[in-house]
Amino acid sequence: MIKYCMHCILPDTRPNLEIMEDGVCNACHSWSDKGNVIDWDARNDDLLDLIKGVKEQSTTWDCIIPVSGGKDSTWQVLKALEHGLKPLCVTWRTPARNALGQKNLDNLVSLGVDHIDFTINPDVECRLTVETFKEAGSLAIPMHMALFAIPLQLAIKFNIPLVLWGENSAMEYGGNDESVLGFKMTRAWLSKYGVTQGTTAEDWVSDDLSIQDLSAYVWPSDKELEDAGVTAAFLGWYLPWDPLETFKVSQEHGFEALSDGPKTGYYDFADVDDEFIITIHHWVKWYKFGFTRLWDNLSLEIRSGRLSRDEAIAIVKKTGDEYPQKAIDKFCTWAEISEPQFLQMAEKFRNHDIWTKQDGNWVLKDFLIEGWF
């Protein structure tokens, strides 16, 4: 049976989410603690110390900023430039990039940075993506392996002392595990929050894909980074992070949101650059966990006080189950499979602990919304 947080609308089926004794989830608890506990002035001083150290050490670029061209990466670049850093921006080029994604990325580069748009052999990427979907029900595993691996590898190769990531998504869930909640991105963090279901490139080696084919997906170890003098840090540890604020600032510097409503979820300024991977990645959560991207976004809005829980539920009701037909069509064309084949692959990941058949239809047991079809 699914339990829902009484404050937001997230279910306990969500990975890393826990509903505490008072019926409120760890993400909500962590949010309400955030403003009270964190001394942001002290964190800002820590950032200035970090930058000072980097400046003393660097001989090429000061830092690598992994960027997609989205609002968060635009904001990261602006903050780095404000602090006098000379960044090399690095992008894992998504095979699903659209014109708006390219435009926003071009805009980001025009803020005044060097940039590498890293393209993986499309044949390798396609085969690996279909394989991870078949085996793990996720299109996003190759993407997450690559977008973490490429900047870290390049930092080592180019002798760049800092890789500056954005928000630490582990912060959302609170707790006191130093190995994942500090300023540093570690291998332990990647295993738990890297969205690869704990797998690494080595796990996906097969007769068809050698470790050399998968070079761009290999994460350096903590020791390799340390030996090379590379620190991987979250900017979100030093500065408070609010999606509306990063959007506003990025927009003032040329970032453009979608003009025809959100692609997935509630925000028209998030997940804008990708035509199918991210949308399908979020949609499969419906089968696996009984919720979608919309639920994450709305829960954040509830925590921020911009929506009530009832209003959020009304929005879910109105939106319906969000079958992403366009994204699925595009993925099937790219992967050279049919829609029935795709659905058959997805069906394997339907979670039978929460889904049951009623009158020939799949329904979620004890769903948040009564009378949902």
DSSP 205-274: --SSS-TTTTGGGPPPPHHHHHHTT-EEEEHHHHS---HHHHHHHHHHTT----SSS-SSSS-TTSS-SB
Q: What is the maximal distance between C-alpha atoms in the chain? A: 68
Q: At its nearest, how many Å lie between Zn ion and the CB of residue 31?
A: 8
**In the complex with Zn ion, which residue's Cβ is closer, 118 or 367?**
367
Cα 137 to Cα 130: distance, rounded to the nearest angstrom:
9
Q: What is the dihedral of CA 95, 211, 64, 147, to 10 degrees?
A: 40
**In the complex with Zn ion, which residue's Cβ is closer, 32 or 179?**
32
Q: At its nearest, how many Å lie between Zn ion and the CB of residue 7?
A: 5
**In the complex with Zn ion, which residue's Cβ is closer, 25 or 364?**
25
Q: Which residue is nearest to Zn ion (CB)?
A: 5
List, in sequence order, every residue forming a beta bridge with 25; answer none if it has no partner.
19
Q: At its nearest, how many Å lie between Zn ion and the CB of residue 165?
A: 25
Cα 315 to Cα 349: distance, rounded to the nearest angstrom:
26
Gyration radius of the chain's alpha carbons = 21
Q: Provide the binding-site residues for Zn ion, judged by CB under 5 A.
A: 5, 7-8, 25, 28
Q: At its nearest, how many Å lie between Zn ion and the CB of residue 78?
A: 31
**In the complex with Zn ion, which residue's Cβ is closer, 69 or 243?**
243
> What's the one-letter identity of residue 78?
L
Q: At its nearest, how many Å lie between Zn ion and the CB of residue 315?
A: 16
Degrees to nearest 5, angle at CA 346 with 344 and 347: 65
Pair of tokens at residue 275: 């035509």
Q: At its nearest, how many Å lie between Zn ion and the CB of residue 131?
A: 34
Pair of tokens at residue 13: 């089926």
Q: At its nearest, how many Å lie between Zn ion and the CB of residue 247?
A: 23
Degrees to nearest 5, angle at CA 175 with 172 and 176: 125
**In the complex with Zn ion, which residue's Cβ is closer, 5 or 180?**
5
**In the complex with Zn ion, which residue's Cβ is closer, 7 or 144?**
7
**In the complex with Zn ion, which residue's Cβ is closer, 4 or 334?**
4
Element counts in the chain: helices (H) and strands (E):
16, 7
